Amino acid sequence: MDRLAFASALARDAGQLAHSAFGTSVTVSKGRHDLVTAMDGEVERFIRAAIAQRYPDDALIGEEQGGNSGERLWLIDPIDGTANYARGIPHYCVSIGYVERGVPTVGVLYDPPHDWLYTAARGEGAWRNGERLAVSACAEMTAATVECGWSTRLPTSAYTALIGRVLDAGCAIRRAGSGALGLADVAGGRTEGYCELHINAWDCAAGILLVHEAGGLTSDFFAGDGLIAGNQLLATNAALCAKLASVTGVPITS
């Protein structure tokens, strides 16, 4: 799979560039609790240039510079977990997803602080540094940990209601500030679920494929105009999906 090898090498190079300014890159606020660093822009330009050179006919949408959709589409977040990155908290990654005719086909994340490269290609499994990933087998809500992503794009009350329902159902919750790595944690069985009531495609395109290829399930993020406008997202394992879908209100269809 040519694009998998290409995206893997690119994510690692981009992540090393990002890590060269970890915790020190100039930071600007795009809005309340919505940061961008100088390195977000620099890493996105680096990734765009590499893709444009290798696959000049492919479309690309990136978090910082936008773009247009297409049949062969790259969805990139140069630094997912920007608030962590800016503060010197070692929980962030480069996310590169590739969607062909609406189908997630390649997903790669690179986590520089751990030197972890997560890779998935449709039908070929999910991997971290060459070790195969599998979702948790946990079937008990009272033993489950669910990461609940948060942003200022939705009212506070929607988030507090979500975490209230998840806690009342017996789960533990966490919020670590990178949706992409939150999905990688589900794929690797480190948590039982990831839920966010609005997330953007560049944050989750790669992670959704990781979860599916690790044997997990997700809501249909790409339904409607999810690709462009973002959507709600739930990712979990087969044993918990009905219960978590009911508790979060996010249906799982695949």
The stretch among 3-11, 44-52, 76-84, 155-163 that binds ligand IPD (CB under 6 A) is 76-84
Residue whose CB is less far from ligand IPD, 45 or 72: 45
By CB under 6 A, is residue 177 in contact with ligand IPD? yes
Residue whose CB is less far from ligand IPD, 82 or 237: 82
Nearest by Cα to 91 from 163, 180, 12, 193: 180
> What's the min distance (Å) between Cβ of 137 and ligand IPD?
26
Q: Name which position in 47, 108, 199, 250 contacts ligand IPD (CB under 6 A).
A: 199
> Three-class SS of residue 42?
helix
Q: What is the DSSP string of 113-145?
A: GGTEEEEEETTS-EEETTEEP-------GGG-E
> What's the min distance (Å) between Cβ of 245 and ligand IPD?
19
Rounded Cα gap, residues 254 and 245, in angstroms: 12
Residue type, 217: L
Q: Which residue has the tokens 């086909």?
A: 105
Rounded Cα gap, residues 185 and 183, in angstroms: 5
Residue whose CB is less far from ligand IPD, 81 or 216: 81
Q: Name which position in 62, 97, 107, 149 contacts ligand IPD (CB under 6 A).
A: 149
By CB under 6 A, is residue 64 in contact with ligand IPD? no
Beta strands in the chain, from DSSP E residues, in sequence order: 27-31, 34-37, 59-62, 66-67, 72-80, 93-100, 103-111, 116-121, 126-128, 131-132, 145-148, 172-174, 193-199, 217-218, 231-236
By CB under 6 A, is residue 179 in contact with ligand IPD? yes
The stretch among 131-139, 172-180, 208-216, 243-251 that binds ligand IPD (CB under 6 A) is 172-180
Residue whose CB is less far from ligand IPD, 133 or 162: 162
Q: Name which position in 19, 39, 44, 63 contacts ligand IPD (CB under 6 A).
A: 63
Rounded Cα gap, residues 18 and 129, in angstroms: 19
> What's the min distance (Å) between Cβ of 83 and ligand IPD?
6
H/E stretch holding 167: helix 156-168
> What's the min distance (Å) between Cβ of 132 and ligand IPD?
25
> Three-class SS of residue 173?
strand
Q: Name which position in 196, 218, 222, 252 contacts ligand IPD (CB under 6 A).
A: 196
By CB under 6 A, is residue 185 in contact with ligand IPD? no
Residue whose CB is less far from ligand IPD, 28 or 242: 28
Residue whose CB is less far from ligand IPD, 91 or 128: 91
Nearest by Cα to 237 from 221, 216, 213: 216
Residues in touch with ligand IPD (CB under 6 A) = 63, 77, 80-82, 149-151, 177-179, 196, 199, 203
